Structure 1
């Protein structure tokens, strides 16, 4: 039997909180393509993000300092 994982949907406000930015900053990133985080647009204003995409972006920005 295959296990199906349900990915949590986040509003723009919730996704922005996860990223420690304002919802307007997240909207600007989506608008100008500065940061490429996948999102889904429903209608003219409703936007949602998947938790896994937010987690993947956070993981991609991880840095370590080498001496």
Structure 2
């Protein structure tokens, strides 16, 4: 089983604040998370899928 990330690991990976991760969760935005008891965990593969699904912006 692959390692799961908590909200802080996700924030570190995406280089956003932990507050941003919590706001996304309340707005049902961001990568899908799984609730395990009182904890939310993220699968790295699903995080990458979510990133790849975002619209590409031209600079």
What is the TM-score when the length of structure 1 is the normalising length?
A: 0.68
Q: Secondary structure at the match of 1:47?
A: strand
Q: How does 1:39-50 map to 2 (within 5 A)?
A: 39-44=33-38, 46-50=39-43
Q: How many residues align?
A: 58
User: Structure 2: where are the runs of 5+ without partners?
Assistant: none
Name the CA distance, whole Å, in 2 between partners of 1:50 and 1:7.
Answer: 8
Q: Secondary structure at the match of 2:42?
A: strand
1:15 aligned partner:
10
User: Structure 1: where are the runs of 5+ without partners?
Assistant: 1-5
1:60 aligned partner:
53
Name the CA distance, whole Å, in 2 between partners of 1:7 and 1:63.
Answer: 28
Q: Is the 8 A contact 1:7 1:50 kept in 2?
A: yes
Flag the structure with larger Rg: 1
After the TM superposition, which segments of 4 or more aligned residues of structure 1 sit over 3 Å from their partners? none
